[in-house]
Amino acid sequence: MTRVLGIDVSLGRGLDAAVVVGSRVEQVFKLGGPEALRECLDSLRPDAVAIDAPPTPGKGLLRDEEVRRRLAVPPAPGKHLDRRVAEYELSRRGIGSHQTHWEEGKLFSWMTAGFETFGAAKAAGYPSYLGSGDRRGRALEVFPYASYVALAGCLSPGRRWRIAWRRGVLDRAGVRDVPDDVTIDGLDAICAGLTGVRFLNGRGSFEGDTREGVIVLPVVRLLDKYKRCEAPEEMPVITTTRWCACGCGEVVRGEFRAGHDARHKARLWRDATAGSAAIEELIRRKWKLPPGVGK
């Protein structure tokens, strides 16, 4: 049975991981960072790893008029110049997406963490899937929100419903054994894994240009346009919950549980020697860099 490791990338909360086997959630857990992912892949050896992040910066293909003209629905003049083709194809259907710029200085910091995550997957023997060749044994780019929309046939009914809506979509897709206490990041890791499973089993597709990477989806074909879902009366309202920024999963009123800021800083110090994402966060928080780093 197809087994995929789904990964939700967050700069501040580390990596949330979920092993999805067929339509069953085998486990949901936290990973400390890219190196921990490499070790996890070496141990688990899933059929693929599905990562909620782009693998590299964009290439600015939509700045080329010839590329734009070849698309089924070309962008309006002067619009979507900074998006990848995959992101434009989602956006034009109403699915809000990130924008992976071709200039590294204009990228979100979490994308840098995503690049490092794909690098760790490659080091473990899972090169990035860019739209051609074998699908198994690869690192797939996924976008869980787009996957939820594709499975539901409509957009999220709103932020206050985001956890309940996600759980409902997974339930209707036949996903079993979703933990009762799973966080929204854990749900997205599960959705990433499910997307990978369906794609490997011939029940998925992708959008994008192979020159800059593609976003894998859990349906054979997207609709031309998506409208907002209605919030069912029986669906419980979920208020926004704040989770400790160290990634421990504890609910907090501020940003950190008492003492967990020090724990998070210690982990960033440990990771800073291996990747720029940790260095960026230390600088953003105005925390001191470890000796010998950033000199």
Instruction: Specify whether 282 is located in the same domain as 177.
Output: no
* H or E stretch covering 40: helix 34-44
159 domain-assigned: yes
Contacts of 69 (CB under 8 A, 6+ apart): none
- What is the structure's pLDDT at 65? 94
Instruction: Specify whether 89 is located in the same domain as 156.
Output: yes
Instruction: Specify whether 143 is located in the same domain as 259.
Output: no
Domain count, the chain: 2
Of 200, 217, 234, which one is at a domain's C-terminal end?
217
Instruction: Specify whether 180 is located in the same domain as 75.
Output: yes
pLDDT beneath 70, residues of the chain = 11, 232-256, 267-282, 284, 292-295
- What is the structure's pLDDT at 275? 55
Instruction: Specify whether 89 is located in the same domain as 135.
Output: yes
Instruction: Specify whether 193 is located in the same domain as 287.
Output: no
- What is the structure's pLDDT at 250? 60
Instruction: Specify whether 212 is located in the same domain as 250.
Output: no
226 domain-assigned: no
- What is the structure's pLDDT at 238? 41
Residue ranges making up the domain that contains 213: 3-217
Instruction: Specify whether 64 is located in the same domain as 184.
Output: yes
- 235-291 pLDDT, tens digit per residue, is 444 444 455 666 555 655 566 677 777 777 776 666 655 555 566 666 767 777 777
Instruction: Specify whether 11 is located in the same domain as 154.
Output: yes
Of 217, 235, 261, which one is at a domain's C-terminal end?
217
How far is the C-alpha of 293 from the C-alpha of 237, rounded, in Å? Answer: 46
Instruction: Specify whether 143 is located in the same domain as 30.
Output: yes
- What is the structure's pLDDT at 28? 96
Instruction: Specify whether 290 is located in the same domain as 253.
Output: yes
Using DSSP bridges, classify how beta strands 205-209 and 138-141 pair: parallel, antiparallel or unpaired. Answer: unpaired
228 domain-assigned: no
Q: How many CB atoms lie within 10 A of CB 63?
A: 13
238 domain-assigned: no
- What is the structure's pLDDT at 285? 72
Instruction: Return the bridge partners of 18, or none.
Output: 6, 28
- What is the structure's pLDDT at 214? 96
222 domain-assigned: no
Instruction: Return the bridge partners of 51, or none.
Output: 7, 141
